[in-house]
Amino acid sequence: MSLDVQRIREEFPVLHRTVGEYPLIYLDSANTSQKPRAVVEALAAHYLERNANVARAMHVLGAEATEAYEGARARIARFIGAEAPEEVVFTKNASEALNLAANTLGARLRPGDEVLISVMEHHSNIVPWQFACERAGATLRWFDVTDDGRLDLENIDDLINERTRVVSLTHVSNVVGTRNPITAIAEKAHTVGAVMVVDASQSAPHERLDVTTLGGDLLTFTGHKMCGPTGIGVLWGRGDLLESLPPFLGGGEMIEVVTMERSTFAAPPYRFEAGTPPIAQAVGLGAAIDWLDSVGMEAIAAHEVDITQYMLAKLTSIDGLTMLGPTEAVDRGSACSFNLDGIHPHDVMQVLDSRGIAIRGGHHCARPLHKRLGHQSSTRASAYLYTTHEEIDVLADALVFARNYFGAR
């Protein structure tokens, strides 16, 4: 099954705009994806036709808004194979979802306990665990990566031990694209009684996740990287685990009974959703998932492999270009980070931008990984279901131009 990319592109008006005299070439989808018309229309329809607060508004509009919000929860649960909608907690983004995980699991940590992450994590899967470990007097440990950007599992028997309480890893790296063997690591984590947390921000947009077989106990992703709006993230958790976790933020709707001295708390998922939630955004994410499913996640996944292969072949054939991470489209997502010798990523980005090509330059919220791989920062091109081979060709030509522009004159 293959994608009709041209037809898909018709659903994204922004892909038809120009930047100066150049057609826009958007290769920054690992940062945020573009939005198809169906999602923007669903957001507009929600605001224009059934906007009200959820759960606490008792009128007809309130009931319709609540139905739409809870409908989105059920839709997302079905999309990831969750056993019940109650296993899906809405947050504002993946960072908040990871903070929720780190805070609530952190409440159980004691001095001497260990939390295990990896050097390839996004800052949002590092900093919350630093906070949690600091508060509890627990120890933060991490997997190293190999020189080609794969998770280094050599000392896994030392890293996962009887003191390990949490293992939190990214499913697919936002910088080097590496796909981590979550299921095998989770199995090992479970033998010592540790909770497995999976950051699926970079995988959820491209493939069908099945939380019942992946191995994670908690899993997070964000809506805006998968055609949904900004301001909506998801924490999925195994029902019995969520049930055992304390609240995160306090406020409206997360309570059962409040007295001036103390409070009791609602059952999940509401225990973790204090205050008015991102209602329209949840509805928008539901619409994004409807739309992705109408395209077909299997076809989207196949397109990602195809475009990644093409991009890697093009990039690695450029003289003076160094890839960070795996150079073959095996067990990797579509994020391709690289450097042109002697040219700072900001300058590369600027030259590409002057030709209508949107990519990202910097450390992509993963400074430790860059340091480990011996790069201060990098340039990243990332594709999605609307990316074409022709766009990759233009990227490659522009990189050669950039290299020559900054070369000796």
> Of 163 and 375, which has the nearer Cβ to another protein?
375
* Among 146, 138, 131, CA closest to 100: 131
CB of 375 to another protein, least distance (A): 10
**227 has catalytic annotation:** no
> Of 43 and 335, which has the nearer Cβ to another protein?
335
> Of 191 and 404, which has the nearer Cβ to another protein?
404
Cβ–Cβ < 8 Å for 226, 195: no
> Of 53 and 130, which has the nearer Cβ to another protein?
130
Cβ–Cβ < 8 Å for 215, 185: yes
3-state secondary structure of 336: strand
* Among 125, 274, 90, 135, CA closest to 196: 125
> Of 78 and 346, which has the nearer Cβ to another protein?
346
CB of 274 to another protein, least distance (A): 29
CB of 261 to another protein, least distance (A): 43
Instruction: List residues near another protein by CB under 8 A.
Output: 20, 344-347, 350-351, 353-354, 361-363, 367, 370, 376-377, 405-406, 408-409
Exposed/middle/buried for 290, CB within 10 Å: 0-12, 13-18, 19+? Answer: middle
CB of 219 to another protein, least distance (A): 28
* Among 144, 125, 140, CA closest to 371: 144
CB of 378 to another protein, least distance (A): 9
Strand partners, 362: 378
Question: Tokens 């509890």 label which residue?
Answer: 136
CA distance linking residue 284 with residue 359, whole number of Å: 25
* H or E stretch at 257: strand 255-258
- List active site positions: 365
